[in-house]
Amino acid sequence: MIPLSAYTAVSAVLFIIGLMGVLVRRNFIIVLLSVEIMMNAANINLVAFSHYLESMAGQLVALFIIAIAAGEAAVGLAIIIVVFRGKISTNVDEMNLLKW
């Protein structure tokens, strides 16, 4: 029997990897992929707690997180396409129009 803390440890490692990807990479699409890694880490946590604490609510929230990831991917990629059309670059350092 695998302890619950093993699942939370895997989830924490994946979350840190995703956070590092968001902070470190310069390509906007890779930043979005790292956000997907972080959402998957949260999903592992939710499903593991749902199994070990014998409640179905965790799996439902994981399902809703997958739906929200789908919406986030659609809107994020649309924004990337708009920016790419104007500037021919997906570097996050060069997207500073809203910065002051």
Partner 1 sequence: MVGVFFTYFALVSIAAGVLTVTLRHPVHCALSLLVLLMHVSGLFILLNAEFLWAVQVIVYVGAILVLYLFVLMLMNLKTDERYFHQSALYVLGPAVLGASYVLYNLLRSPFNGAKGDTPAAAVLQDGDTYAVGIKMFSDHLLQFEIVGIFLLGAVIGAIVLAKTPKQLETERERL
What mask of x and - would describe binding to partner 1 in positions 73 to 92, judged by CB under 8 A? Answer: xxx-xxxxxx-x-----xx-
Q: Report the C-alpha gap between 16 and 41 in whole angstroms.
A: 9
DSSP 8-class letter at 53:
T
| Contact between 57 and 50 (Cβ < 8 Å) | yes
Ranges within 38-77 binding partner 1 (CB under 8 A): 40, 43-44, 47-57, 59-60, 62-64, 66-75, 77
CB 90 within 8 A of CB 80: yes
Give the Cα separation of 100 and 54 in Å (integer): 49
> Is 35 an interacting residue with respect to partner 1 (CB under 8 A)?
no
Q: Tell me: does residue 18 bind partner 1 (CB under 8 A).
A: yes
Chain positions contacting partner 1, by CB under 8 A: 1-2, 4-10, 12-14, 16-21, 23-27, 29-30, 32-34, 36-37, 40, 43-44, 47-57, 59-60, 62-64, 66-75, 77-82, 84, 90-91, 93
